[in-house]
Amino acid sequence: MRPILILIAAFMLTASAQGYSLLPDQLSSSAQIDRALKYIKAIEPETLDEQARICEIAAPPFKERESALYFRRRFEELGLKNVRIDGAGNAIGERPGASDGPVVVLAAHLDTVFPEGTPVKVMRDEAMLKGPGIGDNCRGLAVMLAIIRALNETGITTSGTIIFVADVGEEGLGDLRGVRHLFNEELKGKIDYFIAIDGAGLEITNRAVGSHRYRVTFRGPGGHSFGAFGMPNPIHALGRAIEKVSRFKAPDRPKTTFNVGRIEGGTSVNSIAHTVWMEVDMRSESAVELNKLDAQFKEAVRAALDEENRFWESPHKLTVDVELIGDRPTGEQATDAPIVKAALEADAQLGIKSRLTSGSTDSNIPISLGIPAITIDGGGRGRGAHSLAESFDSTDSHLGAQRALLVTLNVSNLKL
Ligand SMILES: [Zn+2]
C-alpha cells in the first residue's frame, strides 16, 4: 500500500511568493552553493561507484562492523574531525562550524535486512544498479559522503557543526539502537537538528510511524502425539491466538497495521510440541491507536492460552511468555516546522515537487524526544526494497544528492 502523501506544491508557491528565506545568516555565498551543486552533479558517477562499493560490504543486522570501519576510514580521508566508532558501533565524524550555530546530525543507516551469507555482489546495467540494499540504504550512505566531498571542494562554511553518522540497527530487530545510543549517550543533549538520508526517491518523512513488536512463546510439557494425547498443545494455542489476531480491525486513518511475521516451533509430526513462538509487528501513525491495538493483542494471547488449557481436562497446563522485542515511538511534525520548511525550500530551489510522508525511520527517536528531525530520500528510483531483487535506477539521481546538500545547509543555517 502507498504511504499517505500530502501534496504541498501549492504551499511552496505561496511561501516563495512571500519571499521568505531560510538562509538569513548564510555564511556561504550563493556562488559557492551553486558550485557545490554543480560539483555534486559532476561526481554523481563516482557517487554511484561508491554506492556499489558500500553495498558489497555485507552489513547484516547486528553485524555492521566491517561497514562501520569503511566509514571511519572514509571520514578520516575526507578530513572530518574527532572520527570514531561509538559504543553502539556507529561511525561518527564531525565538521566543525565557524560559530555557534545549530549542531546538525546527518545520518544514514548501515544495516540491511539481509542475513549473513546473502550474496552482496552489485550488478550494473547502464543506469540500473541491482543488489540487496542498493537503495536502502547504500544510496543514503553514498549521498552522505558526496555531501562531505562537495563541502570540502567548495570550502563552504556552516555556522554550526555538522556531525556525520553512519549508524547501526535501523532495520527490524535493530530497533533503532544506533540512533537511540546517539541521543541517550554519545551526543546526549548536544543535537539541535537531525536529518536521516534513507533509501531511494525524493520524499520527505516528517511523521514517525510507531511500532510495537513481540515474540510470543507458548510452552508445555510436550509428549508423544498418540501416547500423551489429551494434554494442551502449544501449537494449537498459537493457532488460536493467530486466528484472533487475523480478525482485528484497524483504522485506515491514522494508518494502523498488524502482522504475524514469523512462526517457529514443534518437535516432529508425531509429537505434541513443547514450545512454539510467533513474532508480531503492529504499527500506527497514532500512539493512541497503537496502544489500543496492543491491548487487544495481549487480550487475544491471554484468551488463546485460557481456551487451550480449558479445552483439555488435563493436569498439564501451558504457559505463555510475551516479550517486547521492538518499541518505536510515534510523533509528528507540522508542515510549517522550521526543519520541514528547510527541506521544502530545498525542493523549491531545485524545482522538485515536494511530497511529505510518514514512515518508521531513524527520525522516530528524535521526533519522540521533541528534537526536530526529518528523513529524506537519496534520489533515484528504488524498487523491491528489503528483497533480494532490489534495484536502483540512477536516472537523474544527482537531484537527490543535490537536495540532501541543500537541506543540510538550510537546516544548519536555521536559528536556534
Ligand atoms: Zn532504510
- Give one DSSP letter per residue of 94-158, joined into a string: EE--SSS---EEEEEE---SPPTT---PPEEETTEEESTTTTTTHHHHHHHHHHHHHHHHHT---
CA–CA distance, 174 with 61 (Å, rounded to integer): 7
Task: Collapse the DSSP code of 349 into the 3-class scheme (helix H, G, I; strand E, B; otherwise coil) and give the result.
Answer: helix
Query: What distance in angstroms lies between residue 197's CA and the mean position of ligand 1's atoms?
Result: 8
Query: What distance in angstroms lies between residue 170's CA and the mean position of ligand 1's atoms?
Result: 7
Q: Is residue 30 part of a domain?
A: yes
Query: What distance in angstroms lies between residue 201's CA and the mean position of ligand 1's atoms?
Result: 12
Residues 200 and 235 in one domain: no
Query: What distance in angstroms lies between residue 85's CA and the mean position of ligand 1's atoms?
Result: 20
Residues 334 and 265 in one domain: no
What is the pLDDT at residue 99? 87
Query: Where among 293, 328, 363 does a domain terminate?
Result: 328
**Three cell numbers at 225?**
502425539
pTM of the model: 0.85
Q: Which helix (H) or strand (E) holds 70?
A: helix 65-77
Query: What distance in angstroms lies between residue 117's CA and the mean position of ligand 1's atoms?
Result: 20
Domain hosting 11: range is: 6-208+330-412
Residues 320 and 381 in one domain: no
Query: What distance in angstroms lies between residue 113's CA and the mean position of ligand 1's atoms?
Result: 9
Residues 202 and 221 in one domain: no
Residues 13 and 110 in one domain: yes
Query: What distance in angstroms lies between residue 133's CA and the mean position of ligand 1's atoms?
Result: 8
Query: What distance in angstroms lies between residue 136's CA and the mean position of ligand 1's atoms?
Result: 5
- CATH code for the domain of 397: 3.40.630.10
Residues 44 and 159 in one domain: yes
Taking only the tens place, the pLDDT of each residue in 383-416 is 999 899 999 999 999 999 999 999 999 999 888 7
What is the pLDDT at residue 26? 56
Query: What distance in angstroms lies between residue 199's CA and the mean position of ligand 1's atoms?
Result: 5
Q: Is residue 372 part of a domain?
A: yes
Query: What distance in angstroms lies between residue 281's CA and the mean position of ligand 1's atoms?
Result: 17
Task: Collapse the DSSP code of 72 into the 3-class scheme (helix H, G, I; strand E, B; otherwise coil) and give the result.
Answer: helix
Q: Is residue 130 part of a domain?
A: yes
Query: What distance in angstroms lies between residue 139's CA and the mean position of ligand 1's atoms?
Result: 9
Are 80 and 95 within 8 A, CB to CB?
yes
Query: What distance in angstroms lies between residue 140's CA and the mean position of ligand 1's atoms?
Result: 8
Query: What distance in angstroms lies between residue 374's CA and the mean position of ligand 1's atoms?
Result: 13
What is the pLDDT at residue 333? 87
Q: Is residue 337 part of a domain?
A: yes
Query: What distance in angstroms lies between residue 68's CA and the mean position of ligand 1's atoms?
Result: 16
Query: Where among 271, 305, 328 does a domain terminate?
Result: 328
Query: What distance in angstroms lies between residue 64's CA and the mean position of ligand 1's atoms?
Result: 14
Query: What distance in angstroms lies between residue 413's CA and the mean position of ligand 1's atoms?
Result: 26
Taking only the tens place, the pLDDT of each residue in 93-116 is 999 999 889 999 999 999 999 999
Query: What distance in angstroms lies between residue 385's CA and the mean position of ligand 1's atoms?
Result: 8
Number of H helices, E strands in the chain: 11, 20
Query: What distance in angstroms lies between residue 289's CA and the mean position of ligand 1's atoms?
Result: 24
- CATH code for the domain of 284: 3.30.70.360
Q: What is the number of domains present in the chain?
A: 2
Residues 320 and 337 in one domain: no
Q: Is residue 1 part of a domain?
A: no
Residues 346 and 321 in one domain: no
Query: Where among 296, 328, 360 does a domain terminate?
Result: 328
Q: Is residue 133 part of a domain?
A: yes
Which whole-number Å values give the CA distances from 300 to 215, 263, 324, in the listed order?
14, 17, 16
pLDDT along the chain (416 residues), means of 10: 34 33 57 94 98 97 97 98 98 94 97 94 96 97 98 94 98 93 98 98 95 97 97 98 98 95 97 98 94 98 98 97 94 91 95 94 95 97 93 98 97 87
Q: Is residue 164 part of a domain?
A: yes
Query: What distance in angstroms lies between residue 17's CA and the mean position of ligand 1's atoms?
Result: 35
Residues 303 and 383 in one domain: no
Residues 187 and 221 in one domain: no
Query: What distance in angstroms lies between residue 312's CA and the mean position of ligand 1's atoms?
Result: 47
Query: What distance in angstroms lies between residue 7's CA and the mean position of ligand 1's atoms?
Result: 23
Residue partners of 390: CB distance under 8 A and separation at least 6: 130, 131, 132, 133, 134, 135, 136, 382, 383, 384
Residues 74 and 177 in one domain: yes
Bond preceding residue 119 cis, omega within 30 of 0: no
Query: What distance in angstroms lies between residue 62's CA and the mean position of ligand 1's atoms?
Result: 15
DSSP per-residue string spanning 264-302: EE-S-TTEE-SEEEEEEEEEES-HHHHHHHHHHHHHHHH
Query: What distance in angstroms lies between residue 96's CA and the mean position of ligand 1's atoms?
Result: 27
Q: Is residue 168 part of a domain?
A: yes
Query: What distance in angstroms lies between residue 216's CA and the mean position of ligand 1's atoms?
Result: 26
Query: What distance in angstroms lies between residue 198's CA and the mean position of ligand 1's atoms?
Result: 5
Query: What distance in angstroms lies between residue 298's CA and the mean position of ligand 1's atoms?
Result: 29
Query: What distance in angstroms lies between residue 361's CA and the mean position of ligand 1's atoms?
Result: 7
Query: What distance in angstroms lies between residue 411's CA and the mean position of ligand 1's atoms?
Result: 21
Query: What distance in angstroms lies between residue 134's CA and the mean position of ligand 1's atoms?
Result: 10
Residues 218 and 82 in one domain: no
